[in-house]
Amino acid sequence: MARSFNICPQIDPLVTTRVPGVALDMLFLVIIQALAVIFLAKFIHLFLRRYNQPSAVSQILAGVAVGGMGLRNAILHVDVDDVEDMYGGYICAARVVYMFLVGLDLDLAALRNATHRCVALAYATVAASLLVAAIVSTGMYGSMMHSPVKTPELLAATLMLAITNTSSITVARVAGELNLTVTENGRLLVAAAIITNLICVVGDAVLSSTALAKEKSQDLYHTSPQIKKGFLALAVAGVAVWQVRPLVTRINQRNVGQHHVRTRHLVAILFGIWFISNIQQLLGFDGMPTSLALGMAFPREGPAARSVADALVAPVNGFVLPFYFATIGMRLDYNSMSGAIIVPGLLLTLLGLVAKAIGAASASTYLNIPISDALRYSVLLNVKGHVDTMNMKFAKSEGVWAEQALYAMIIGNLISTVIAGPAAAAVLRREKGEYRTWHQAMESLGAEQELRMLVCAHSAHAAPGVLSLVELLVITPQEQPAVPVLHFFEAPRDRSARTPYHQQARGDEATEGKGGPDPVAQMNMVVDVFSKTTGIFFHQIDVVSLGASQDAAVACRGAEEAHAGLLLLPCYKEQRFDGKMACRLEERWKLNHDVLERAPCTVGLLVDRPYRGSGTSFQTPIGIAPETGRTLVHPCSDRTVTHVIAAVFLGGPDDREAVSFACRLAEHPAIGLTVFRFVKRSTYDTVTSSTSRAAAAAADELDVPFQEGDVDERFLWRFYENYASRELAMYVEKVVESPTDVVETLEGMAGMFSLVVLGRGGRQPVELMAGLERWAEGGSEIGPVGEILASNESLEMGSVLVMQQHTVAISPPRQ
């Protein structure tokens, strides 16, 4: 005879009986069921991923198929309540673990910048759903699935929660897998789903606590009211969220310089998260909000976050989530299927879609999004997953509806989750198409608009320069989206090791003893310092270098996936200790060349000079920059600045992009900017006359069509009005007669500026480029002006940033 085995507790946390009908030998059938679901889901996804369908859809379909094989009846052959007993504990645990990862991965700065939009969409859909549910419940009272209910108030309240609720775990999983969270609309969708879910979780807790508090029986509820437990759960969650940052910071300090924390620290962190979340469930409440809050409060920088993510992401994505979504389909009982269950299930799905569509459409005007996009979002916000069936025992025990209604709700949840796949694919296609066809250039981006960036670096030595530029570009770190940092490193040459490198790289003493310091751990230290000091979240992504061509493909694909408007990477010219500039590796030159040819956005190549003899350099954040002994003054005022930079303008789109980049830097209070415009003496009167400037101003005000030759004049007029006239930057015109004048002026910038920003060239005025062919041939990737400045071996010369503007054939207006 099989022994009894307690697989998971009942949904009711106050009852700790064993699961009826479950034996130890049945546990092996559960394992077989899980393996079958995961294998079948991967097979189905091989076909569905061609149509951009999320893996959750494949896993649900696999659950439906496996559920129809009879394994479900072999495990549990009673009614739906036993199905909840079987899967309820696993579902709750999976939600807690994954929502912690969702909170850890949330881009808080970007969400903070769009708080009003997220709240507006969530409140609009919640209000519309509550209204529709209230209207429908009046007609369903007394006839809810052929069974009378106790009171119309309980039916209305429960139906409101059922129609309003959104499965935030499903929406977050779909959006994260399809990479929608990097876009503004994708973050809007995930945040609205989380807010809606939290509202319904609070509403369900209030409803159950109020109903249980009215009972007068001599049981646990009488001696310990549920309302008091609610305050206790809230206090525990508040203290845990308040203490998580200082505790994790202390652990990071004990593991400074390491890629991962020690094993005992990792176990302590995971146990603490699990314990705090389970306290909420033991008190009779959902632990999902607490785990989400813990993830959001968890420090992103440091080895603790990396250790937790590396320990949880693989098993959660590989096993926990596939089986979680599969149980949605495995809940179906084919023996009980009939029209009396399927039709109400379809009706519940339709009611939810109508309610969400009304709310999203009403908020579309405020959100400035098309109605078609709002309707797609409503389909995703109607995803139910498991959320509606989490409280079915309470609904049935209170007599809100009959057992057939619970089966109908399972049908509705399955339908709403499956149809969300095509809606998500439609949103993905629109976001990709908009990114590829829109002009991803800083010239067309306002100073107040969000700038998404991607940084590439091949070593910890090259990273500070580009990270410092990102710091200077960001005026408000609390509102800057996360900046991905692609770290290309060479894998160990010891091919005999069977353990993958990402598992070997722990930054411990054993690794450093074999072949020197770990490059990943060194980059971790640099990124952590900049993240903690600047307040900007740099998301480090380690990539094994496989050659210049493949690295360039990874960088360009990463820029497209991040929807970046700017791609920053070090130039192939590097400064030696003696100040001379040289290309140390041919692969670096080829990487620059391939990125410039294939980049989907504007590219900036930084020729960094870390060994500059005097003045400031870009090796440390501004907050901890060492004193240089020199006082730098803004060129237009008496205030002190940290960096004095220059922008060189000859003409053409690349130079306009360089000035646009420099203007963004000029918004930072630690930057003083001077823009140098080179003008040929023979064309000086034509270019700088008051008539040409007046024409440019009139064209700018009237927004009339203009010729290509007038673009530079119109651009410089805007610069003068927005920056030079407000004393944010100085404008200087340099009249030149020969190539020698250009070279002398550029070389004279040594010792004056810590950074010179210029365009790559190739589309500059011919009269200014005449005579510079020698430098154009020597530096085709950075242009002749860039070659003149980058080849200067003076230790007084500052860093050089070469910009190439992104171009597209068609640039349709944004809707």
- Does the structure show a pLDDT above 70 at 179? yes
Same domain flag for 400 and 531: no
671 with 524, same domain: the answer is yes
Which amino acid is residue 271, in one-letter code? Answer: F
On the question of pLDDT at 483 being above 90, the answer is yes
224 versus 760: which is more confidently predicted?
A: 760
* pLDDT value of residue 336: 67
N- to C-terminal Cα distance for the chain? 68
- Can you give the pLDDT at residue 552? 93
**What percent of the chain has pLDDT above 70?**
76
Specify the DSSP element, H or E, that contains 219.
none
Comparing 399 with 429, the larger pLDDT belongs to: 429
**Please, which pLDDT band fits residue 212 given cuts at 50, 70 and 90?**
low
CA 699/CA 722 separation, integer angstroms: 16
* 11 belongs to a structural domain: no
Task: Decide if pLDDT at 295 tops 90.
Answer: yes
Cα–Cα dist 571/609, whole Å: 11
**Type and span of the H or E element at 128:** helix 115-140
DSSP assignment of 471-489: HHH-S-GGGPPPEEEEEEE
* CATH number of 633's domain: 3.40.50.12370
Query: Could you tell me if residue 499 is inside a domain?
Result: no
- Judged by average pLDDT, the poorest of 327-336, 359-368, 565-574 is 327-336
Q: What is the mean pLDDT of residues 126-135?
A: 88
Q: pLDDT value at position 258?
A: 86
For residue 702, the tally of other CB atoms under 10 A from its CB is 8
The two tokens of residue 222 are: 């009488």
Tokens of 217: 């029986």
Average pLDDT over residues 189-216: 77
Q: Do 636 and 727 contact (CB within 8 A), yes or no?
A: yes
At which of 413, 435, 457 does a domain end? 435
In this prediction, residue 80 carries a pLDDT of: 41
Mean pLDDT for the chain overall: 79
Q: How far apart are CA 346 and CA 585, in angstroms?
A: 63
- Whether 15 is in a domain gets the answer no
Same domain, 335 and 446: no
Q: What 3 state SS string does 585-601 have? A: CHHHHHHHHHHHHHCCC
pLDDT per residue over 498-548, tens digit each? 445 445 544 444 444 455 568 888 899 999 999 988 889 999 999 998 888
Q: What is the mean pLDDT of residues 638-642?
A: 83
Q: Determine the average pLDDT of the residues in 67-92.
A: 57
pLDDT > 50? residue 275: yes
- Indicate if 478 and 616 belong to the same structural domain: yes
Token couple for 142: 């007394």
At residue 643, does pLDDT exceed 50? yes
User: Residue 735 belongs to what H/E stretch?
Assistant: strand 729-736
Cα distances (angstroms) measured from residue 243 to each of 105, 140, 273, 293, 294: 19, 47, 12, 12, 10
List residues bridging with 277 in a β-sheet: none
Note the pLDDT of residue 527: 92
Answer for the pair 736, 687: CB distance below 8 angstroms, yes or no: no
Provide the domain count of the chain.
Answer: 2
Cα dihedral 267, 270, 271, 272 sign: positive
Which of 409, 435, 461 is a domain's end point?
435
CATH code at 151? 1.20.1530.20
Cross-strand pairs, 582? 574
Helix (H, G, I), strand (E, B) or coil at 456: strand
Task: List the domain range (segments joined by +) for residue 133.
Answer: 22-213+225-435
Report if residue 693 sits inside a domain.
Answer: no
Residue 61: half-sphere exposure toward Cβ, Cα within 13 Å? 17
Band of residue 246 on the pLDDT scale cut at 50, 70, 90: very high
* Whether 719 and 573 share a structural domain: yes
Which pLDDT score, from 0 to 100, does residue 239 have? 92
Instruction: Give the pLDDT of residue 673.
Output: 92
**Residue spans of beta strands (DSSP E) within 525-572:** 538-544, 566-570
CB atoms within 10 A of CB 360: 27
Same domain for 487 and 530, yes or no, is: yes
Q: Residues 439, 442, 446, CA angle at the centre, nearest 5°? A: 100
In a domain, 814, yes or no: no
Which pLDDT does position 475 carry in this prediction?
Answer: 84
- pLDDT single digits (tens) 26-75: 566 677 878 888 899 999 999 998 888 999 999 998 888 887 665 555 54
Pairwise pLDDT comparison (390 vs 549), residue with the higher score: 549
Domain assignment present for residue 357? The answer is yes
Q: Does residue 460 share a domain with residue 385?
A: no
DSSP 370: -
Going by C-beta distance under 8 Å and a sequence separation of 6 or more, which residues neighbour residue 774?
none
Among 154-163, 448-457, 556-565, 671-680, the minimum mean pLDDT is found in: 154-163
DSSP conformation class of 450: -
Asked if 771 and 624 touch (Cβ cutoff 8 Å), the reply is no
Q: Answer with the one of 397, 416, 435 that is the final residue of a domain.
A: 435
How much is the pLDDT for 590? 92
∠ Cα 182 183 187 (to 5°): 85
Same domain, yes or no: 560 and 658: yes
d(CA 12, CA 346): 29
pLDDT at residue 726, rounded to an integer: 86
**Residue 501: predicted pLDDT:** 47
- 376 and 446 in a single domain? The answer is no
* CB contact at 8 A, 654 and 684: no
pLDDT at 663: 92
Considering the domain boundaries, does residue 509 fall inside one? no
Is residue 425 located within the same domain as residue 457? no
Same domain, 35 and 67: yes
- What are the C-alpha distances in Å from 471 to residues 243, 347, 440, 535? 29, 53, 20, 9
Evaluate whether 753 touches 798 at the Cβ level (below 8 Å): yes
Residues 207 and 90 in one domain: yes
In a domain, 503, yes or no: no
Mean pLDDT for the stretch of residues 594-620: 84
Give the confidence band of 203 by pLDDT, cuts at 50, 70, 90.
Answer: confident
